[in-house]
Structure 1
Amino acid sequence: MSELPVVVVGAGPIGLAAAAELLERGLEPLVLERGPQAGASVAQWNHVRLFSQWSELVDPAAGRLLEAAGWERPAADEYPTGQDWVARYLAPLAAALGERVRFGAEVVGVARRGRDRVVDHGRDTEPLTVHVCHTDGREELITARAVVDASGTWTNPNPLGGDGLPALGERAATDRITYQVPDLQDPAVRVRFAGKHVAVAGSGHSALTALVALTGVEGTRISWILRRRSVGNTFGGGEADQLPARGALGLRAKEAVDAGLVQVVAGFRTEAVERDEQGLLVLRAPDGRTVRAVDEVVVVTGFRPDLSWLSELRLELDATLQAPVALAPLIDPNVHSCGTVYPHGAKELAHPEPNVYLAGMKSYGRAPTFLAMTGYEQVRSIAAALAGDHEAVGRVELVLAETGVCGGAGLFDEPAADASSGGCCGAPAEPELISLSAPSTDR
């Protein structure tokens, strides 16, 4: 199978980085992207400014490939928007990879050639088959030596409903519900929210971004819907956050709440969405509480992976997070929210199905707070594993910034823990450099 390509699903930051890492290792990547351009999902939030600097947003192998083509590296200490990330990095990277990247190519299934999920024989000797549907309706079957799924989770946002399913009436109210941070620089979008009662549901960085942005819209009244019982450490670690822009975002959101610009509705899990006589929305919780006369709802409650087209592969996923079982304990928000995820790579991301990896945001399943540099280290290790460089696989070294917060984010029925003066879970508030052991050669 050495002459077959490694199929990478998704031409986002992690998928394109995987292609660059593979190419540098002498392996032939083939990137399949269902969207019309590189970073198609990023382009949908192009108005949002990242809290990572350029120095943390360029994969090392991708940077070397681009510089060989005459690319000018952005200033390391600048904070780009999503639009900047696409225009100045992702689009040039896709161009540098050339025909190895195909757009309008949706992967609708992956299997072992001639074997369904039940068959044992041949799973370690037969190649993988990737079923593709093109935008013109043409179907294609591609044979691959390995598959790296970096398709992300952007297209599968979590619903407003507090039990993980759409609330009653949520689907019927989609004309007044948006599942991403609105682009308030767009005049038409700004008019939609100006002078209205807007409910923002969620407790992560996207929710904080939406809250801060909406406070700048004239006449807008904001209700912040929190499933957890109190705000607690939702604002993050502030000045203790080792990503300064991330900490500053939380501080700005806290200022807005303290100033009365945002009304906090805590312990509220939406069970139903109704309409009043004026056509405005009423959010109803199981305990009978309501949030009334809502013009617009911004639902930013996280994302979940689409695993449907991987159903014929033998994946080993955590029952809670839908992340690889070896990775799940490191990222489980029920355990910690500090952001200190130990460096990990091919060993933690491997599955019983040989040469199949979930990477990037999709590898986190339903867990939040994924950083691009985490994904870059993942695909560096995966490329090394596929190239047979087991020493490099184990040399997974990465310094990740702590949020300055410690506490189980998933325990929203308990009073949230306050940010401690130290680091996460009792560790010092300093980044750690960790080297993981190499996987055994039979994986």
Structure 2
Amino acid sequence: GSFPALYPGYPPQAGGYPPQAGGYPPQAGGYPPQAGGYPPQAGGYPPQAGGYPPQAGGYPPQPSGYPPQPGGYPPQAGYPGAPSPNHPMPGYGGAPAPMPVYPKVPSPNPSMPAYGGGAMPIAPPINRGFRGTIKDYPGADPLKDVEVLRKAMKGFGTDEQAIIDLLGSRSIRQRVPMPRSYKTSYGKDLIKDLHSELSGDFRILVLAMLKSPAEFDAYELHSAIKGAGTDEACLIEILSSRSNAEIKEINRIYKQEYKKTLEDAISGDTSGHFRRLLISLAQGNRDERPNVDISLAKQDAQALYAAGENKLGTDESKFNAILCARSKPHLRAVFLEYQQMCGRDIEKSIDREMSGDLESGMKAVVKCIKNTPGYFAERLYKSMKGAGTKDKTLIRIMVTRSEVDMLDIRQEYVKNYGKSLYTHISGDTSGDYKKLLLKLCGGSD
């Protein structure tokens, strides 16, 4: 059956849990040990940042930041006003989502410590500020920047280092207008010029860095679908980690660029409950209210238990409805309630109840909601471990998270894999490609 009208009325903070931003500090070690010793990676959800880097309400023209050009160039030559009108950037949210605060409740089952009982100390930071590695370069001048690019490509050979130094020190909103400024100054296509001057993974990375976040996401979704074999993990990665506003913008650009809707593309390339999961996520219609009602979280946890572990067979559509419609802070509460209720991590239940693409898809959605930086750290680790590097994944995550939560990803990486992301990238890549990736990575913690 379907849900009753999504959370009828959703009483504001029933029971008076104060809405506290932030989340369980990452050091809180996993779930209570009685759960069969799942690795702590499952627990301690750090605060979740949104998807794209925060951007002034869709970056309006801000002539202010740039001194008026000598010779009276009009201020619209400045970065923030430059995106072409057909690619406006919506205000990408980057605020950490609030987390529920669990009061000390008597545990229904004495062998399981109640949430307030020390299993997960709660000290939510209110707002941890910017968690990315690439910031706006102060006083950057777009016309000077494209002159640097032009010089790097003119004449014999290419000055890759100049390209690395420039692109590695400009934020997304300073990079996106470069193709237009380049065309304004030289009447040439920057993307084509770079394409013919560069090659390999370095070229792929450079071109990725010149797309707006939604353009790049749409491009990645399109290439995950077209061609032989679908990159299912890429589809889930993007659709489960972006906000509603971001997903709506991706849908708009997808249709504009590829002349069919994202939903039609997904439908034509996937099937069954996995297709339904992707289409649900692609609606960009998840509840985004910050408040969490613990009694509703308990109801959802019970519904998931009844739909899986507690019945013969599995009601996949119940999992789908809860995982795709509920807010992320609410789901984090649901996962904790679920663990307490049946003594098993929801990921383990999904393992037992599902298989194939649906199993890996549902688990990825759970991981991403539970601990977004931890999820991306794992994706990065897997892209580099073993023989051969999955460069597409490595590039996508380094580019898309560099202004969102790269600092948190680095923290999770070293905590979970015992060496820094910087070290791993250094050992796994080489040349100009490596140099630019390391700029996106930032420090070598």
Q: TM-score, normalised by structure 2?
A: 0.28
Between the two structures, name the one with larger relative contact order (CA 8 Å, sep ≥ 6). 2
Q: TM-score, normalised by structure 1?
A: 0.28
Which one has the bigger strand percentage? 1
Which one has the bigger helix percentage? 2
